[in-house]
């Protein structure tokens, strides 16, 4: 049974229906024929994620997600850090709900652990297509029911 954890560092964040998110993440993995062994999502502020970005990646800029692959095989083991500040800003910028943008970024982090990248324009297009596919797997969940 895969172990998927959600935690927050310096922000208050809680799922209303965590079980639905876990089922969804496992659906994404199964769609790519990959198994999740252990996966942790940590929700934090811009400043916390910037600190992580500087310390571990030598990048001095804000980002919405940082993924650490801890796998020793093709199965997924990793940690994904997400800035809720960035999610809020991007939701407004892209004219989507906070929940939709959050789900997109959650899927984005998982896709990185599955081997997808977004450094080139071609990779970015593939990533966007995969994100759309991931969000379509969540369509049966009524919007606004995942978050408290």
Indicate whether 126 pLDDT > 90: yes
The CATH classification number of 3-137 equals: 3.40.390.30
pLDDT in tens, 9-41: 999 988 878 888 999 999 999 999 999 999 999
> For residues 129 and 108, what is the distance between their CA atoms, to the nearest angstrom?
11
Indicate whether 143 pLDDT > 80: no
Q: What is the mean pLDDT of residues 56-84?
A: 96
Q: What pLDDT score does 148 carry?
A: 42
Q: Of all residues in the chain, what percent carry a pLDDT higher than 70?
A: 93
Q: What is the mean pLDDT of residues 127-145?
A: 81
18 versus 66: the higher-pLDDT residue is 66
pLDDT in tens, 70-81: 999 999 999 999
Q: Of all residues in the chain, what percent carry a pLDDT higher than 90?
A: 83
- The whole-model pTM stands at 0.91
> For residues 28 and 33, what is the distance between their CA atoms, to the nearest angstrom?
9
Domain layout of the chain by residue ranges: 3-137
Q: What pLDDT score does 19 carry?
A: 87
- CB neighbours of residue 79 within 10 Å: 19
Helix/strand/coil percent split, the chain, to 5: 45, 20, 30
Q: Which of 83, 109, 101 is nearest to 10 (CA)?
A: 83
φ/ψ of 102, rounded to 5, equals -60, -45
């Amino acid at each position: 049974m895969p172990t998927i954890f959600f935690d927050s560092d310096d922000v208050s964040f809680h799922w209303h229906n965590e079980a639905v998110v876990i089922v969804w993440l496992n659906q994404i993995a199964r769609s790519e024929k990959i198994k999740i062994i252990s996966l942790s999502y940590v929700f934090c502020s811009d400043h916390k994620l910037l600190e992580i970005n500087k310390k571990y990646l030598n990048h001095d800029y804000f980002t919405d997600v940082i993924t650490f692959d801890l796998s020793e095989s093709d199965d997924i083991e990793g940690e994904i850090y997400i800035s809720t500040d960035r999610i809020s800003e991007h939701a407004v910028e892209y004219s989507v709900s906070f929940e939709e943008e959050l789900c997109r970024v959650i899927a984005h982090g998982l896709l990185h652990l599955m081997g997808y990248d977004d450094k080139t324009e071609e990779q970015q297009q593939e990533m966007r297509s995969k994100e759309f596919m991931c969000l379509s797997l969540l369509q049966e969940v009524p919007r606004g029911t995942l978050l408290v």
